[in-house]
Amino acid sequence: METRDKKIKEVQGRAWLFGDDIDTDVILPGKYLVLTDPNELAKHALEGLVSDFSRKISKGDIIVAGKNFGCGSSREHAPLALKYAGVGAVVARSFSRIFFRNAINIGLPVVVSKEARDVIKEGERLSIDLEGGFIIREDGSRLVVGKYPEFLLEILKDGGLLQNLKRRFGKEAKI
Amino acid sequence: MGMTISEKILAKASGRQKVEAGEYIVGKIDLAMIHDLTGPLTLNVMKEVGYDKPWDPEKVVIILDHQVPANSTVTAELHKQLRHYAKKHSIRNFHEVGRQGVCHQVLAESYVKPGMLVVGADSHTCSLGALGAFATGIGSTEMASVILTGEMWFRVPETIKFNLKNRLSKGVSAKDIILKIIGDMGVDGALYRAAEFSGDGVESLSVDSRLTMCNMAIEMGGKTGIVNPDKKTIEFTGVREAPLRSDPDAGYAAHYELDLGKLEPQVAMPHSVDNVKPISEVGEVEADQVFIGSCTNGRLEDLEAAASVIRGRKVKDGTRLIVIPASQRIYLEAERKGYIREFIEAGGVVCNPNCGPCLGGHMGILADGEVCVSTSNRNFIGRMGSTSSKVYLVSPETAAATAVEGKITDPRKYLR
C-alpha cells in the first residue's frame, strides 16, 4: 500500500516540441481503441504526427506543446499511450479538460505553462518539480508553473486514481 | 447575482443552495454511461482495484455502439466483457446489439431528464445538455471511480451565453449554426466553459436540432452545451416540469450573438473543426464518400432533411453514400416514413445504427488520399482512416446534395 506522505518524483527528460491543438486522434488513432493493453497502445502513440515516436523517445522525455493539447475524444487510451511510450510529463499552454483529468487520473503529470513552448528548445534537457511548481531548464533557469489543487496533487502522489481507489475499496469484498 | 442553469444543477448535485464559477465541488451523479470502446478500460480499472460493484445499478447504462455488430474477435471480446459485467451486477440498462443506437441518442431517447447530472465515458456526452441536463464526458478511470462511488469532483465552469436570434432559412440547419459558432470561437474558444444556447432562435429549434448543437460544444473545448428547458424539452423527456433554468441576472463570462436568418450553409475544412467557411467560399471539392449519420446528425430530422434532397435523384457515379440512423427507434421510423427506401433507391447504403465511419473504426474507413464529406463532428488528421484522407464537415442537407452532385454542393438549390 502506498504511503500518503510520499513526494512525487521529479520528472526529467528531453523536450519534444509540438504545436497547438494536438488532438486525441493524432495522439492515438481511433482504429486502435479496441486495444486495452497499454503497452500495445504505446506503440501507436502520436502515430498521426511522428512515425515510431515510442521507439524514438527515451523514458522520462517531456512533451512541450502549445494550446489546447489533447482536444477531441475522451479516450483515456491517448494519455495511456503517451505514458507507456515513456513520456514523463506533458507541458502545454493549455489542455482540453477531459485530457487533463484523464492524464492526472492515470498518473501522467500535465503541467500548464504559458511561456514554455515559446522559450524551450527541441531536445533541451528539462526537469519538473511538480510540487514546487516549476520547470528547471538546461541552463539552470526556472519557469514557474501553476500548482495543482491539493486533492489533485494527492492523486498524482498516489500515481493515479487507481491507487486512490484501491486504498478506498481494496478492503471491500473481492471480485 | 443569480445562477446559470449549469450552476443550479451542480449546486443541487452537491447539496448546496449556491455555487459559483471556479469553485470545486463534489457532485452526486444521476446517470453514468459506458460504451464498447471506453467501457472495457473501466472494467480493467475496477479489476485492478479488486472491487467492481456499481454504486447503483439502475444509474449505470451500458451501450454497444462503436463497432456493432462486432467486426473482429477483439471487438467481440470487448462486447462480451460488458455483457458479462451487466449480467453479474443485474444492470438492466444494458443495450444489446439490435436494441441500441449511438449512445448519446439512446440516452436522449430513454434516460436523460432536465436537471440531471450526467457523465459518460465519451466526449460527446455534452449532447445531452440539449435536454436541460448538465452532461459531460470523462475518461475510463474516472468512470470506474464514478461507478464505484456515485460521485465526481467538478470545477464549476464559467458559462458563455450564445444568443441566437431569428429563424433559419430553408436549407440551413442546426449543424450550420454550430459550425459557424466554432469557426468564430476556435477549437478552444469555450475551453472548460459551459456553452449555453438561448434566444428566440433556439426556442424555434426542435430538440433534435438542439442535440446537434450541444453535441459539438466539445469541439470548441466546452465542458457541456446546454439549453434551458422549455415546452419542447418537457414534451420530449416526458417530465411534468423542469424548474432549473438560468436566472435573468445570472453571471456570464462572455456573450455571443448570431442572426440565424442571415446564416448560409457552412463547411468545416480539413483538418480542424474551426476551419469553417461559408459554402459559397469553399470552391470545388469532389467527394469519394458521403456519410450521413453519427451522434451529431443521425436523427430523424436529419434523415428527413437528407431524404428531401435525395428524393427521386441518384448518387453521382464515383461517389458512395453511407447512411446510418443514430438509433433503432430512428431506423424504424425512417423506414416507416420511406426515407430508408429513398436512400437505397438513390444508390446509397444504409447500415444498422452505430457510430459507423465517424472515428475510422467500422463501416466506411477511408483509403489514402480519399475525401469524405460527413455530417459527423471531427475532421482531424486520420480521423476516418488513412492519415492522408480528408474529412469535410457539413449539414445533412449539404451532405445529400454533395452525394447527388459528387462534389460539395449548396443544398438550397434543391430545397426551394
pTM of the complete model: 0.94
Q: Provide the shortest C-alpha distance from residue A127 to chain B (in Å).
A: 27
Decide if pLDDT at B385 tops 80. Answer: yes
Decide if pLDDT at B151 tops 80. Answer: yes
Q: With an 8 Å Cβ cutoff, are A102 and B52 in contact?
A: no
Residues B95-117 as b/e (b if ≥16 CB within 10 A, e otherwise) read bebeebbbbbbbbbbebbbbbbb
Decide if pLDDT at B345 tops 90. Answer: yes
Banded pLDDT at A164 (limits 50, 70, 90): confident
| A113 touches B at CB < 8 Å | no
Cell numbers representing residue B183 in the block: 469557426
| A14 touches B at CB < 8 Å | no
Q: Angle at the Cα of A35 (from A33 to A41), degrees rounded to 5?
A: 90
From the candidates B74, B141, B379, which should be mutated to test the interface with A, based on the most A CB atoms within 10 A?
B141
What radius of gyration do chain B's Cα atoms show?
20
Question: What average pLDDT does the structure give for chain A?
Answer: 90
Q: With an 8 Å Cβ cutoff, are B141 and A105 in contact?
A: yes
Say if residues A95 and A63 touch (Cβ distance below 8 Å).
Answer: no
Decide if pLDDT at B351 tops 80. Answer: yes
pLDDT at B175: 98
Decide if pLDDT at A7 tops 80. Answer: no
Q: Provide the shortest C-alpha distance from residue B184 to chain A (in Å).
A: 16
Alpha carbons B35 and B315: distance in angstroms, whole number: 33
- The chain B residue lying nearest A36, using CA atoms, is B41
pLDDT, tens digit, 9 for 90 and up, residues A72-90:
999 999 999 999 999 999 9
| A93 touches B at CB < 8 Å | no
| A158 touches B at CB < 8 Å | no
B40 cis-preceded (ω within 30 degrees of 0): no
**Domain locations along chain A:** 11-169
**Farthest CA pair distance, chain A:** 53
Range of lowest pLDDT (A122-126, A168-172, B122-126)? A168-172
pLDDT at B42: 97
pLDDT at B275: 97
pLDDT at A2: 43
Decide if pLDDT at A43 tops 70. Answer: yes
Q: Which of B55, B58, A42, B154 is nearest to B46 (CA)?
A: B55
Q: With an 8 Å Cβ cutoff, are A71 and B188 in contact?
A: yes
**Which B positions 264-283 lie with beta carbon below 8 A of chain A?**
272
Residue that wins the pLDDT comparison between A47 and B311: B311
pLDDT at B57: 98
3-class secondary-structure state, position B242: coil
Which residues on chain A are in Cβ contact (under 8 Å) with B359?
25, 30, 33, 73
pLDDT, tens digit, 9 for 90 and up, residues B255-269:
999 999 999 999 999
**Which B positions 101-120 lie with beta carbon below 8 A of chain A?**
120
Ordered domains of chain B (ranges, CATH): 7-259 (3.30.499.10), 266-414 (3.30.499.10)
pLDDT, tens digit, 9 for 90 and up, residues B1-47:
899 999 999 999 999 999 999 898 999 999 999 999 999 999 999 99
Decide if pLDDT at A115 tops 90. Answer: yes
pLDDT, tens digit, 9 for 90 and up, residues B282-321:
999 999 999 999 999 999 999 999 999 999 999 999 999 9
Q: With an 8 Å Cβ cutoff, are B365 and A30 in contact?
A: no
Banded pLDDT at A8 (limits 50, 70, 90): confident
pLDDT, tens digit, 9 for 90 and up, residues B163-206:
999 999 999 999 999 999 999 999 999 999 999 999 999 999 99
Decide if pLDDT at A151 tops 90. Answer: no
Decide if pLDDT at B398 tops 90. Answer: yes
Decide if pLDDT at A1 tops 50. Answer: no
Strands B194-198 and B60-63: unpaired
pLDDT at B391: 98
Which residues on chain B are in Cβ contact (under 8 Å) with A156?
none
Which residues on chain B are in Cβ contact (under 8 Å) with A73?
122-123, 359, 378
pLDDT at A3: 45
| A36 touches B at CB < 8 Å | yes
Alpha carbons B259 and B261: distance in angstroms, whole number: 5
A11-169 adopts what CATH topology? Answer: Aconitase; domain 4 (3.20.19)
